[in-house]
A and B are shown apart, each in its own frame.
Chain A
Amino acid sequence: MSSYGGSVHLRRRDAGLRERSMGVDSPLWRLDWLLALAVAGLVGLGSLLVWSATRQRMLDADLDPTAFLKRHLINAAIGLALASVAALVDYRSLRAYAPVIYVLSCLGLIAVLSPLGKTINGAHSWIVLGGGFQVQPSEVAKVALVVGMAMLLAEQRDGEDGPRDGDVVMVLLLAAVPMALVMLQPDLGTVLVLVFIVLGVLALSGAPARWIVGLIAAGALVSVAAVQLGVLDDYQVDRFAAFANPALDPQGVGYNTNQARIAIGSGGLDGKGLFQGTQTNGRFIPEQQTDFIFTVAGEELGLLGGSLLLGLLGVVLWRGLRIASRSKDAFGRLVAAGVVCWFAFQSFVNVGMTLGIMPVTGLPLPFVSYGGSAMFANLVAVGLLQNVHLRSRDL
């Protein structure tokens, strides 16, 4: 930690002063405001994009054109509340809650596979709660996995460089349960996010390199075997085939990616203007307010808007990495690292998919895509980052 500049020490001293002067040292003052602003920017931009993506189709159906926007904003508000809880809850109790969250998410994933589960947009990953509410337990599982792994791997530290093999095996078993359950839905995209989280957290925990390399090799083997043995559903293989060659079936599997690329490409430098996208208003891109939300940014806001969006994501990741490196303990570092891996991988796959450089896997873009469960999970994760940040200040 020798890299920290003097100014940081100074601010820490200030913080101590404020703490002593009662009240002024509320956690609000000590939040990572850059992180908060970047997330707010993404949510705000996302709201506009969701609005634009749904406005025309709602108008066509004689429905309230702002219906999606309103729900999106409500989701964001609920997410903000959840994030506040996650940020302010006591660090130690967070560890205590970890097993509970983990078990709950696994139960949720099991429920999805039971008759309670529901298929929405081709993904069987929902539980309907009634009253128009539904949750996606796989989003909760991401949070659970991050916190659960961080708890297990952080406890095993007494002078060693990293966890022992036994700990790694235990963590892998822990991770295998939700991954297997999500795979059964089947939701390949979320499984890949979970894999990336596991890899990231394990690596940051200091686990022996052979495990990291071995896991990557095993993952590659499993993928090849899955395709060869036909474990994957046809549509999953098709998506990859269409990714490799979108011209294969322009009206079928390749349709989404083709239309997405046309939308983004036609946006040019400064876009066609908000609500002015012809591809968006013509509804050429299915799932546009969820998985393909980035196409609205690309088409209507152009390279400038798309870059702004990527930039804001970059700020979130940068702050997450910064929080990880400044965490006072292993738990905080692993939580932060897990969240960064999650956001980074999911954003890359989502945007890459709309740009035609990643296969279609049905992952939403964090903070931007429409969808309650994902919004809650993402904001809770930001809350966790803030929690870790607040602790690191306590040094």
Chain B
Amino acid sequence: MSRRADLRLFVLRVVVVAMLATLFGRLWFLQVVGGEEYAEAASANRVREVVQPAPRGEVFDVRGTPLVRNRTALVVSVDRSAVVRQPDGGRAVLERLGTVLDRPADVLRQEIRPCGGGVQPPCWRGSPYQPVPVAEFDAGDRAGLMKVLQIEERREDFSGVTAEFAAVRDYPKRTLGAHVLGYLGPISLEEVGSPQYEGVQPSSLVGRAGVEASYDQELRGRDGVERLIVDHVGAVTGSDGETAPRAGDALVLSLDAKVQQVVEQALQRTIDRARTLRARGSGLPLVADSGSVVVMEAKTGRVVAMASYPSYDPAVFVGGASPKEYAALVDEAQGAPLVFRAIQGAYAPASTFKVISTAAAVESGDYPLDGRYPCPGVYPPTGQRNFDSAPLGVVDLRQSLVKSCDTVFYKFAYEQWQRDGGNDPVAEPRDPMVRMAQAFGLGERTGIDLPSERRGTVADRAYKQEYWEQTRENRCKGAENAALPAERRRDNREFCDDGNRFRGGDATNFAIGQGDTLVTPLQLATVYAAIANGGKLLEPHVGRALVSPDGEVREIAPRVRSTVPVSADVLGYLRDALAGVTQPGGTAAGAFAGSPVAVAGKTGTGEVANKQDTSWFASFAPVADPELVVVGMVSQGGTGGTVAAPLVREVYDGIYGPGGTGLSKALPKVVP
């Protein structure tokens, strides 16, 4: 053999050895270095986790009446990823599905698109990997079952479409308490795996509003997982063990369905009646666009009934609300029925606030409880008028509440403002009324066990400063804007110059619950509960107890947030004065003539810019040993005495009157 060939044979040997060494090295790397990782991958490959959904806990009222149950329904879902992968992009399947379900295929196509990335509704808000429910039929709906049967029989024509029995929420009392109960919605991609939704599978529904949201963790239980062994096409070849699902807890509410029924009916009737009345001043028919009633136990803060008008049917969320349905629920023009006005509507409290002004005036030490004060038609220093301009002469504090005199409170507020330095405030103003409002929990959430509660506003010095800073630039421009009328320009100029100043008028407005101070009906209920119960500011609750699947009952204890800085004498005086409001001579005397229970309360008529008055009545009863607090509010509903007071009266009649519901104290026996 030539030397050249010899050399090349040697090169070939080297190449062969190098190749074998490379293969061995790589093999060692894969199996020894990466072995564990690949073993996990192999396990993930062959094991499919199948979720066995835990039955969601049901919701009962305080008498054990079911308010939210589960029922079995056939849910038709479309697996978008499977459908769009078809050669024609799923067109044929969606056409066929549209024909069977009697819905346009284009709409189905839109509904299964994932939202986000500029996609506007209709679109799917849940996980893109989750089959999208497009139709839901009750297990007893024969026509619906026939449709589903068509899909099941022609499986090959409906590739990517599934029809499965699933537990869905059912509302035996229909729309009753809809806002409190809330609804479910699919968990979003971002929420999956977050601590709040630990253990929740991507395909699950979670609470989105009401107690469904606030007690979601307890209601949802824990899904079971079965580990199935599958082959490359996903065919099941065995099982690798399972964890059983754990049903969610049942939730017993403090809500009383019977009282709730009374309240919702009263609210509906009041709104209807208000719309036949005319507004004070303008004489136009009352709009009465919305309203709310809160019925709360005065000593515990347990909510017995809580209603918001307009309301909605929570069943629209079963199987997913269509985009059109959802839009209607939040449309302002249709009254935004989804807004829970008891905790999400904030309104000027008007004269119902005077209990706080009175307490502040007395507790500040400036004005004795037994003092007598002038109630002229007009308060000269500010030129502000009494509500109906009628002078009442010299009155005591009781009379100023019973008759709802404004000028007495103007005097207190203005003089206290002057003592704080007036337009040139001292370094640390006392602001007794602001402090008292804050002590009664205004401007803070009550902490009720419901989501998305509003704080409301206490229009104090800091608020004015902040508001001025935020709007000043615009207003200063407006001061120079020649296109505006001279009056507007002057206003803008004043605001631009010193709009942050807490003026005497701000103080007097504050004292009668006008201006920018806003409260929710529930906040006002806690204020009146504190007066009724001897000074305890309560944390309201709608949840009364949780009952685990094995029958263990966990009561949700009432909680006192704080004690208001008002002496027992003053509180007793206020209770007595408020009791006079419903008596002859009081602002709510007409509404409460012949009441089955002695009611103490306060009317309020809130003036709102560019809108009709907000009608308020905040109350508690029985006067001797207050049991309940009832607050009624009708937006654009006229005066407190003519609309809200009769509303509240109707509620008391429904509870205490002949054939009334009474109240249920004992915890019901509930079997989850």
Which residues from A are CB-within-8-Å of B233?
283
Is B282 part of the contact surface with A, judged by Cβ < 8 Å?
no
Contact B4 A161 (CB under 8 A): yes
Contact B23 A355 (CB under 8 A): yes
Instruction: Give the CA-CA distance A352 to B32 in the complex, in Å.
Output: 17
* Residue of B2, B5, B237 with most partner-chain A CB within 10 A: B5
Is A263 part of the contact surface with B, judged by Cβ < 8 Å?
yes
**Stretch in contact with the other chain, from B34-42, B118-126, B185-193:** B34-42
Partner of A279, one of B24, B34, B46: B46
Instruction: Give the CA-CA distance A206 to B4 in the complex, in Å.
Output: 6
Partner of B31, one of A206, A267, A341: A267
Contact A268 B32 (CB under 8 A): yes
Contact B5 A333 (CB under 8 A): yes
Knowing A282-B231, A284-B231, say if A264 contacts B12 (CB, 8 Å). Answer: no
Which residues from B are CB-within-8-Å of A268?
31-32, 35, 39
Instruction: Give the CA-CA distance A1 to B231 in the complex, in Å.
Output: 57
Instruction: Give the CA-CA distance A306 to B19 in the complex, in Å.
Output: 15
Which residues from A are CB-within-8-Å of B231?
60, 281-284
Contact A321 B13 (CB under 8 A): yes
The interface size of chain B toward A, counting residues with CB under 8 Å, comes to 40
Residue on A with the closest CB to B13? A321
Contact B24 A310 (CB under 8 A): yes
Q: Is the interface of B mostly helix, strand, loop or mixed?
A: helix
Which residues from B are CB-within-8-Å of A356?
26, 30
Is A314 part of the contact surface with B, judged by Cβ < 8 Å?
yes
Contact A265 B41 (CB under 8 A): yes
Is B15 part of the contact surface with A, judged by Cβ < 8 Å?
yes
Partner of B27, one of A263, A324, A355: A355
Knowing A162-B2, A265-B38, say if A314 contacts B26 (CB, 8 Å). Answer: no
Instruction: Give the CA-CA distance A42 to B386 in the complex, in Å.
Output: 108
Contact B45 A279 (CB under 8 A): yes
Which residues from B are CB-within-8-Å of A162?
2, 4-5
Instruction: Give the CA-CA distance A310 to B16 in the complex, in Å.
Output: 12
Is A313 part of the contact surface with B, judged by Cβ < 8 Å?
yes
Which residues from B are CB-within-8-Å of A264?
27, 30-31, 38
Which residues from A are CB-within-8-Å of B39?
265-266, 268
Which residues from A are CB-within-8-Å of B232?
259, 282-285
Which residues from B are CB-within-8-Å of A269?
31-32, 35
* Residue of A299, A337, A341, A355 with most partner-chain B CB within 10 A: A355
**Stretch in contact with the other chain, from A105-113, A118-126, A129-137, A197-205:** A197-205
Contact B237 A282 (CB under 8 A): yes
Report A335-394 residues with CB < 8 Å from chain B CB. Answer: 337, 340-341, 344, 347-348, 351-352, 355-357
Report B30-75 residues with CB < 8 Å from chain A CB. Answer: 30-32, 34-35, 37-39, 41-43, 45-46
Contact A266 B38 (CB under 8 A): yes
Is B230 part of the contact surface with A, judged by Cβ < 8 Å?
yes
Contact A265 B34 (CB under 8 A): yes
Using an 8 Å CB-CB cutoff, how does the interface string of A200-224 with B read, 1 for contact, 0 for none?
1001111000000000000000000
Residue on B with the closest CB to A56? B231
Is A303 part of the contact surface with B, judged by Cβ < 8 Å?
yes
Is B9 part of the contact surface with A, judged by Cβ < 8 Å?
yes
Contact B12 A340 (CB under 8 A): yes
Report A249-279 residues with CB < 8 Å from chain B CB. Answer: 259, 261-269, 278-279
Contact B12 A298 (CB under 8 A): no
Contact B30 A355 (CB under 8 A): yes
Using an 8 Å CB-CB cutoff, how does the interface string of B301-320 with A read, 1 for contact, 0 for none?
00000000000000000000
Which residues from A are CB-within-8-Å of B13?
321
Report A282-314 residues with CB < 8 Å from chain B CB. Answer: 282-285, 298-299, 302-303, 306-307, 310, 313-314
Contact A302 B31 (CB under 8 A): yes
Which residues from B are CB-within-8-Å of A262?
38, 41-42, 45
Contact A206 B41 (CB under 8 A): no
Contact A310 B1 (CB under 8 A): no
Contact B5 A298 (CB under 8 A): no
CB of A151 to closest CB in B, whole Å: 17
Residue on A with the closest CB to B230? A282
Which residues from A are CB-within-8-Å of B27?
264, 298, 303, 306-307, 310, 355
Which residues from B are CB-within-8-Å of A341?
12
Residue on A with the closest CB to B6? A325
Which residues from A are CB-within-8-Å of B2?
161-162, 206
Residue on A with the closest CB to B15? A344
* Residue of B9, B24, B27, B231 with most partner-chain A CB within 10 A: B27
Instruction: Give the CA-CA distance A205 to B8 in the complex, in Å.
Output: 9
Report A138-184 residues with CB < 8 Å from chain B CB. Answer: 161-162
Is B28 part of the contact surface with A, judged by Cβ < 8 Å?
yes
Top 10 A-B pairs, shortest CB-CB distance: A265-B38, A266-B42, A282-B231, A348-B19, A268-B35, A266-B39, A266-B38, A265-B30, A284-B232, A355-B26
User: Which residues does B use to contact A, with CB under 8 Å?
Assistant: 1-6, 8-9, 11-13, 15-16, 19-20, 22-24, 26-28, 30-32, 34-35, 37-39, 41-43, 45-46, 229-233, 237
25 chain-A/chain-B pairs, Cβ below 8 angstroms: A60-B231, A205-B5, A261-B30, A265-B35, A265-B37, A266-B42, A269-B31, A269-B32, A269-B35, A278-B42, A278-B45, A282-B231, A283-B231, A307-B24, A318-B16, A321-B13, A321-B16, A333-B1, A341-B12, A344-B19, A347-B19, A351-B23, A352-B22, A352-B26, A357-B26
